[in-house]
Amino acid sequence: MDIALGKEDLAFAERMRSFFRTEIPAEIRAKGERGEHLSREDFVTTQQILNSRGLAVPHWPAAWGGQDWTALQRHIWAEEMALAHVPPPLAFNAAMVGPVIATFGSEELKQRFLPPTANLDIWWCQGFSEPNAGSDLASLTTRAVRDGDTYVINGQKTWTTLAQWADWIFCLVRTDPEAKKQLGISFVLVDMKTPGVTVRPIRLIDGGYEVNEVFFDDVRIPADQLVGEENKGWDYAKFLLGNERTGVAGTGIIKARIARLKKVAAETRSHGKPLLEDPLFRARLTRLEVETTALTMSVLRVLANEAKHPGKPDPVSSVLKLRGSELQQEASELLVDVLGPAALGYRETAKVSEGFAALPDGAVDAMPTYFNWRKASIYSGSSEVQRSIIARAILKF
Amino acid sequence: MDFDPTDEQRMLAETVNSLLDKRYDPSGRLKLLDSELGWSRELWQQYAQLGLLGLTFDEQYDGAGMGGAELATVMESFGRALVLEPYFATVVLGGTLVAQAGTPEQKAAILPKVAAGELLLAFASTEPGTRWSQTGIATTAARSADGDGWTISGEKIAVLGADSANTLIVSAVTPDGIGLFLVDAADVSIDGYPMQDGQRGGDVLLVNAPAQLLGTSANAIDHISSVIDVATAALCAESIGVCERMLWMTVDYLKTRVQFGRPIAVFQALQFRAADMYVALEQAKSMALLARLSLDDDDPAARQRTVRAAKIQVDLSSRQIGQESIQLHGGIGMTMEYPVGHYFKRSAVIGKTFADTSELIELVGADGGLIG
């Protein structure tokens, strides 16, 4: 793969690699490598180290902590971070609300929110999806009614990731129920401590609590927590979702998981020899590696193309999301297959009782991750939505 | 990082495409297919005049001194038009073998003639019963009685371009390893046939055929491997041209074929399959690009692994795109008269050239894979 990169880019990658592997606490990276759950504190510690070195929000405007990097350098930054098992800056802050405030917010909102957002002093969560607004997000019905200097919000959001840790939520709300559905939506910021906000956890099939429902009952927020203009929220949401065209591929995460499962497969014996030498297993693995390498090259092609022809819409970003999520899922499944019976017990930790053998790497997280990553082809535009986008682009109807 | 074609490559593509657009309409191609030779000597001379037949040879041998990227440019265009001339056999395989393994005298004797369109080559390596093995072969070379040259005995199969080649480059077992030999086509028996995709080839029987060692060493396996890498990258590029045509022909068909009172493109079941074809094509393009970039890799093992990986992806994608393009066309896709089936046939043959997907997966896997 290195053959596709220039000398300067390889040097940049090396710089990132050594930073991530020396400056981020080893115990946090080790947790990431073993697939253990990270605490809120782990995320905050990591992001604050990154932020102190200008590496938390490189894609923001330079005035607010961004770097004058190329899109390729940002990709290398993200990929090296994943390969080093460093938890990335919180996407809701760094990739979503931050860029929206920086691009569409008032000077006052920028001053107030951007520094603590970059530093994860404020933990944001995303209030977009609703029980009846999934792929058809624009049909959302959570209402915000202007009342003097305030908005009064009523409704419900769902699939709100890590709302239990969040300080603030950014929401799409309907401010004009008469307008065509995309035209009556606004983008507002809500303090989670505001009276009337209730969080109810949803337990997912992996056994964990990652997402929540968030209810709004007569939640009154100051009108200056509207971002940009009223009824322009859909444009901001589209900007936010289109912001990260290549990160959706998740190539770093896939490669890290492949490297990990190869290690485990080398230490797992099957029919008297290491599983890694079993031809059938190796065939599945190799095919996954080839497809992942192809996806990585596709990312580089999109980046190279964007550098030359900026802003040109391109269904290839749908290809990246579609294939990226499928390959993440395949990689997660393959680790389960490597472990075999060792993957079957549901355990909270890798600790074993006195006298029992140590668990192989992955015994705790392989199967839950396999369950959990089924989400990858559902969120951020399901695979079916992506296929529709591609079909529209090539069939031009 | 810039993957766009250079101005020179763009001009090369335009030149080749404008010739092929004129000369390779589907009905003209069908006529060529049915002709005795199976391709056009007149077009061959035009390729020579455009410098395509010496594209990658050094200028001292009347070549254009270009590299893998330009070869890929030509091959992609050839794939798009389904060119029938023995370019791959003569220039990509034969020419590169001579350029890499030959002595200066051999290069001087052969390459200018190839570049001028006066000499056709073929690479005879695969044998009955050994699939794609380059080393597990039974053809043997022995020193001839006068001690100066060699004689070769054995049988080769599926030799692309064998029927029209003037000189064969034959691999054979020697005391030093697998050697490469120049053999005059007049000294062997050739059973010529059209390949399944319409290109011409044949089986070759050698009985004490007089031969000249190509190069100075009777162990040429490194040259063979390296030429197969170049040729595989070229096939990947050709396959992209083939796949692009299949995808866009299918897209056009979906938009124009009316059933149940509307174009069938409105049916989501078909839209999603077309979308998946596009995804497969993008993945293939990415790996075809990586294959040609990797030809510049100084590490031969890394180069070989990457090129093989590329062909795995390209063949998987082209198989999917090919099968789906026939299915989405319905009955018309099954006919010889409609072009899409010809592209499908070419992609099926590329998928079995040098190695198939299973073989390549095993080779790349046994080599430790690509990640981690």
Half-sphere CA count of A159, side-chain side, radius 13 A:
13
Residue with tokens 């896709």: B333
Per-residue confidence in pLDDT tens, chain B, 372 aa? 789 999 999 999 999 999 999 999 888 999 999 999 999 999 999 999 999 999 999 999 999 999 999 999 999 999 999 999 999 999 999 999 999 999 999 999 999 999 999 999 999 999 999 999 999 999 999 998 887 899 999 999 999 999 999 999 999 999 999 999 999 999 999 999 999 999 999 999 999 999 999 999 999 999 999 999 999 999 999 999 999 999 999 999 999 999 999 999 999 999 999 999 999 999 999 999 999 999 999 999 999 999 999 999 999 999 999 999 999 999 999 999 999 999 999 999 999 999 999 999 999 999 999 998
Query: What residues 62-81 of chain B have any CB closer than 8 A to a CB of chain A?
Result: none
Which of A1, A3, A285 to substitute to test the interface with B, most B CBs within 10 Å?
Answer: A3
* C-beta atoms of A287 and B1 within 8 A: no
| B329 in contact with A, Cβ within 8 Å | no
Alpha-carbon distance of B43 to B21, in angstroms, equals 13
Cβ of A289 within 8 Å of Cβ of B309? The answer is yes
Whole-angstrom distance, CA of residue A297 vs CA of residue A251? 10
Angstrom distance (rounded) from CA A365 to CA A371: 10
**Alpha carbon distances (Å) from A356 to A349, B252, B342:** 14, 64, 63
What is the ipTM, given to two decimal places? 0.95
The 3-state secondary structure of chain A reads CHHHCCHHHHHHHHHHHHHHHHHCCHHHHHHHHHCCCCCHHHHHHHHHHHHHCCCCCCCCCHHHCCCCCCHHHHHHHHHHHHHCCCCCCCHHHHHHHHHHHHHHCCHHHHHHHHHHHHCCCCCEEEECCECCECCCHHHCCCEEEEECCEEEEEEEEEEEECHHHCCEEEEEEECCCCCCHHHHEEEEEEECCCCCEEEEEEECCCCCEEEEEEEEEEEEEEHHHECCCCCCHHHHHHHHHHCCCCHHHCHHHHHHHHHHHHHHHHHCEECCEEHHHCHHHHHHHHHHHHHHHHHHHHHHHHHHHHHHCCCCCCCHHHHHHHHHHHHHHHHHHHHHHHHHHHHCCCCCCCCCCCCCCCCCCCCCCHHHHHHHHHHHHCCCCCHHHHHHHHHHHHHCC
Closest CA to B178 of B129, B227, B242: B227
> Could you tell me the sign of the dihedral formed by the alpha carbons of B83, B85, B88, B91, in that order?
negative
- Helices A279-308, B357-366: axis angle to 10 degrees equals 90
Query: From the centroid of its chain, how far is CA A187?
Result: 20
B9 touches chain A (CB under 8 A): no
Q: Which of A9, A293, A395 sits opposite B274 (nearest CB)?
A: A395
Domain boundaries, chain B: 7-115, 121-219, 222-366
Query: Is domain B7-115 classified as CATH 1.10.540.10?
Result: yes
Instruction: Look up residue B64 and give its two tokens.
Output: 């254009």
Chain A residue numbers with beta carbons less than 8 Å from the beta carbon of B316 are: 287
Q: CB contact, 8 Å: B358 with chain A?
A: yes
Check: CB of residue B185 under 8 Å from CB of residue B166.
yes
Q: Name the fold adopted by A245-395.
A: Butyryl-CoA Dehydrogenase, subunit A; domain 3 (1.20.140)
Could you tell me the residue ranges of all domains in chain A? 2-89, 124-231, 245-395
* Residue B274 to residue B329: CA distance in whole angstroms: 11
Instruction: Specify the pairing of strand A124-127 against strand A168-174.
Output: parallel
Element (H, E) at B263: strand B262-263
Is B279 within 8 Å of A279 when comparing Cβ atoms?
no
Q: Model pTM?
A: 0.95
Residue of A80, A130, A210, A244 marked active site:
A244
B306 touches chain A (CB under 8 A): yes
- Chosen from A72, A290, A382, A384 to mutate, greatest number of chain B CBs within 10 A: A290
Which residues of chain A have a CB within 8 Å of the CB of B289? 4, 297, 301
On chain B, the residues whose CB falls within 8 A of the CB of A396 are 255
Chain A residue numbers with beta carbons less than 8 Å from the beta carbon of B364 are: 286, 289-290
User: Of 2.130.10.10, 2.40.110.10, 3.40.50.300, 2.160.20.10, which CATH number belongs to B121-219?
Assistant: 2.40.110.10
Question: Is B116 part of the contact surface with chain A (CB cutoff 8 Å)?
Answer: no
- Rounded to an integer, the average pLDDT of A259-286 is 96
DSSP state of B168: E
Question: Is B362 in contact with A298 (Cβ distance < 8 A)?
Answer: no
In the CATH scheme, what is the code of domain B222-366?
A: 1.20.140.10
Q: Which residue of B has its CA nearest to A255?
A: B371
Q: Which of B346, B361, B280 is nearest to B317 (CA)?
A: B280
The domain A124-231 having CATH identifier 2.40.110.10: the answer here is yes
Q: What is the pLDDT of residues B31-44, one digit of tens each?
A: 999 999 999 999 99
Residue at A352: amino acid letter? V
